[in-house]
């Protein structure tokens, strides 16, 4: 008599819990994985992502560090060069700025500098983005700095499942990964089975979260739920919006993105980072270069404003919202009619 394995029960879990599980599983499977950062040990991190790891694996493998980001990352570089797999937490996005010299001068260049002889299996976890009422230096979207630094992989999850899968992939990588964690999604919930074999999400692969035919919303991280909400609201206006979650900013999945835009003929890039010099400009350029003859309107952007992050009471005006996205989609329609009127 044969028995059929019962499916593992799925239950609500938060993104923070998925990240904790990813760290725990990686540490249990590989003794070279070390977690380090400010308050990651006894406290379990400001957002409790490392909660319980020090008790389970000891202070030597989940280590509290001094408040010195450049020193933290510099130490991690040495650890990676000597065969360990450090996972560094920078606590808040803008706290990583003092460590940027280490990142640009050594983390991103070591493998190239040594002609591949010295890998750099280093994961840098950075909670980023707004939406939590944080003050200056606690809500930045600094991804453009990392995108402009050759030698880094840059990924950001927007779902519970991807939080686990992408972090496992980042830790397993022999190249450095900047792992951007959307702070406002830490407590988002989804049905998830932590006991089932969870796939390691491939770095460099985007995902279509909602199929559509009228236009494509290209987004990532904290802006994904906003885009999905906007896509539902757009149905009342007769628009069927496709939503693509980029997940990986470097390497960039041109194939999935361009396949979507070629189907819909229109695209809007949505992210919290400022518009000028932000990731949306590069994304729009790539789409335009590769999909020019399929576009019925210019690629548009909905972004944060070109200002330092505002005080908490004003952040709702700064962050891309449903109304701003719908206004931009309406502009796409106008741009399409204008193009048709010119006989294009």
pLDDT at 192 (0 to 100) = 80
Q: How confident is the model at residue 2 (pLDDT cuts 50, 70, 90)?
A: very low
Facing residues of 207 across strands? 245
The residue-averaged pLDDT of 170-199 equals 88
Facing residues of 11 across strands? 192
223 closest CA partner among 238, 191, 245, 206: 245
For residues 333 and 147, the model is more confident at 147
Spatial distance between the Cα atoms of 113 and 192, rounded to a whole number of angstroms = 41
pLDDT per residue over 223-255, tens digit each?
999 999 999 999 998 999 999 999 999 999 999
- Determine whether domain 207-341 maps to CATH 3.40.50.920: yes
The one catalytic residue among 34, 106, 138, 271: 138
Locate the domains of the chain by residue range. 11-192, 207-341
**207-341: same fold as 11-192?**
yes
Q: SS3 for 26?
A: helix
Q: SS3 for 270?
A: strand
pLDDT at 193 (0 to 100) = 75
Burial of 19 (0-12, 13-18, 19+ CB in 10 A): buried
Active site residue 138: yes
Spatial distance between the Cα atoms of 294 and 88, rounded to a whole number of angstroms = 43
Q: How confident is the model at residue 344 (pLDDT cuts 50, 70, 90)?
A: very low
- Determine whether domain 11-192 maps to CATH 3.40.50.970: yes
pLDDT per residue over 124-166, tens digit each?
999 999 999 998 889 999 999 999 999 999 999 999 999 999 9
pLDDT per residue over 97-129, tens digit each?
999 999 999 999 999 999 999 999 999 999 999
pLDDT at 198 (0 to 100) = 60
pLDDT per residue over 42-63, tens digit each?
999 999 999 999 999 999 999 9
pLDDT per residue over 281-326, tens digit each?
999 999 999 999 999 999 999 999 999 999 999 999 999 999 999 9
Alpha-carbon distance values, 259 to 138, 163, 205, 240, 266 (Å): 36, 25, 13, 16, 12
The residue-averaged pLDDT of 73-92 equals 96
């Amino acid at each position: 008599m044969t028995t059929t394995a019962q499916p593992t029960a799925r239950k609500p879990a938060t993104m923070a819990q998925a990240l904790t599980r990813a760290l725990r599983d990686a540490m249990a499977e590989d003794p070279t994985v070390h977690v380090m950062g400010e308050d990651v040990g006894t406290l379990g991190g400001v957002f409790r992502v490392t909660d319980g790891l020090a008790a389970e694996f000891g202070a030597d493998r989940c280590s509290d560090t001094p408040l010195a980001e450049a020193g933290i990352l510099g130490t991690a570089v040495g650890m990676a060069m000597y065969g360990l797999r450090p996972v560094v937490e920078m606590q808040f996005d803008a706290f990583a700025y003092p460590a940027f010299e280490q990142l640009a001068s050594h983390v991103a260049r070591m493998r190239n500098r040594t002609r591949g002889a010295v890998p750099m299996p280093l994961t840098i976890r950075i909670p980023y983005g707004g939406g939590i009422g944080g003050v200056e230096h606690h809500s930045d979207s600094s991804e453009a700095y990392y995108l402009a630094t050759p030698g880094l992989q840059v990924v950001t999850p927007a779902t519970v499942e991807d939080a686990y899968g992408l972090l496992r992939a980042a830790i397993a990588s022999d190249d450095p990964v900047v792992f951007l964690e959307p702070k406002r999604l830490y407590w988002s919930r989804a049905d998830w089975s932590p006991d089932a074999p969870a796939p390691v999400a491939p770095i460099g692969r985007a995902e279509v979260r909602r199929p559509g035919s009228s236009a494509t919303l290209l987004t990532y991280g904290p802006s994904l739920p906003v885009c999905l909400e906007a896509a539902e609201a757009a149905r009342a206006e007769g628009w069927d919006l496709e939503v693509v979650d980029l997940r990986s900013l470097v390497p960039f999945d041109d194939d999935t993105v361009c396949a979507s835009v070629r189907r819909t003929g229109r695209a809007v890039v949505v992210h919290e980072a400022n518009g000028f010099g932000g990731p949306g400009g590069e994304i729009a350029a790539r789409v335009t270069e590769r999909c020019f003859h399929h576009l019925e309107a210019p690629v548009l952007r909905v972004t944060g404003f070109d200002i330092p992050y505002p005080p908490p009471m004003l952040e709702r005006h700064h962050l891309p919202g449903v109304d701003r996205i719908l206004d931009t989609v309406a502009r796409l329609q106008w741009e399409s009619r204008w193009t048709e009127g010119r006989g294009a």
